[in-house]
Amino acid sequence: MKEKIYTIPVTDAFSIDCECPLCMLEKKLEEEAIEYALGASLMEPDHRKTTNELGFCRTHFEAMYNSQANRLGLALMIDTFLQEKNSRLKQIFESKLNLLEQDSEAGLVKNISKKLSSKQTNTDMLLSELVSELDKIQNSCAICSKLEHTMDRYIDVIFYLYFKEPDFREVFHSKKGFCLKHLKLLLSSVSKYLNISQAAIFTKNVMEMQLSNLDRVEKEVDWFTKKFDYRYNDAPWGNSKDAVIRSIQKIRGNCELK
């Protein structure tokens, strides 16, 4: 198989013996994205605009802080992010402050009528707007967004290689399946990138491989539990010593388990 620059990350990931090649691919992309976020990107206006808008999720805040790579750079991103979000929340609140005060002075009759009516009060509308803004903050992350975009491109590459390169297809089927997160990503992308025939072939093949490997992992976890029974003291562990770690990764994907 003749590799191209855009296929190398995919073929490298599929060369690793693991429970999910896409986890390996995503982990490498994530490490690069964290390094980039704390590096030269701090001086790029477009990137700072993105981080000010999206911020970072808990996982990636932890990863950047724990890397100890650039505390000042992280602080600068937090500073400008907070400036923007604090301003936005203040704007929403102050725009309805007078109306909020009107609701606070509502009499008993109005309070009863409000409970009997489906019409939103000024307070309801303010609460809805504030919660919506807080949802945006909680559910957005510059690194997650970048990973999602890049992984989608690599899913396209995987489908291309699967049907164009027999060598890659053979390697693909020699793997141990995927974590459930990346199985979902593959299956949800089938109709986007494949025609009807290809979709049927790929779905059949990948699900047969996946179900076989899920059964394998379940049996390994089951044997792990049996090894705590005195009747199996002298029985070999087989592949079950790390079955709990691998089963969690199979279910949830990349996990920092110690």
Are residue 71 and residue 13 in the same domain, yes or no? yes
Are residue 31 and residue 72 in the same domain, yes or no? yes
Are residue 71 and residue 192 in the same domain, yes or no? no
Are residue 124 and residue 203 in the same domain, yes or no? no
Specify the pTM.
0.84
pLDDT of amino acid 100: 75
Count of structural domains, the chain: 2
Question: Which H helix or E strand runs over 77?
Answer: helix 71-95
Are residue 74 and residue 134 in the same domain, yes or no? yes
- Residue 234 is encoded by which pair of tokens? 């002298």
pLDDT in tens, the chain (258 residues): 666 788 999 999 999 999 999 999 999 999 999 999 998 888 888 988 999 999 999 999 999 999 988 999 999 999 999 999 999 999 999 988 888 777 777 654 455 555 545 577 888 889 999 999 999 999 999 999 999 999 999 999 999 999 999 999 999 999 999 999 999 999 999 999 999 999 999 999 999 999 999 999 999 999 999 999 989 888 999 999 999 999 999 999 988 877
Are residue 51 and residue 111 in the same domain, yes or no? yes
Where in the sequence is the domain holding 173, given as residue range(s)? 151-252
Instruction: Classify residue 253 by its DSSP letter.
Output: S
Q: What is the DSSP string of 145-207?
A: HHHHHHHHHHHHHHHHHHHH-HHHHHHHHHS----HHHHHHHHHHHHHH--HHHHHHHHHHHH
Could you say which of 126, 143, 160 is where a domain stops? 143
Are residue 112 and residue 168 in the same domain, yes or no? no
Are residue 118 and residue 52 in the same domain, yes or no? yes
Are residue 137 and residue 226 in the same domain, yes or no? no
> 40 in a domain, yes or no?
yes
Side-chain half-sphere of 166: how many Cα atoms within 13 Å? 0
Could you say which of 121, 143, 165 is where a domain stops? 143
pLDDT of amino acid 1: 60
> 118 in a domain, yes or no?
yes
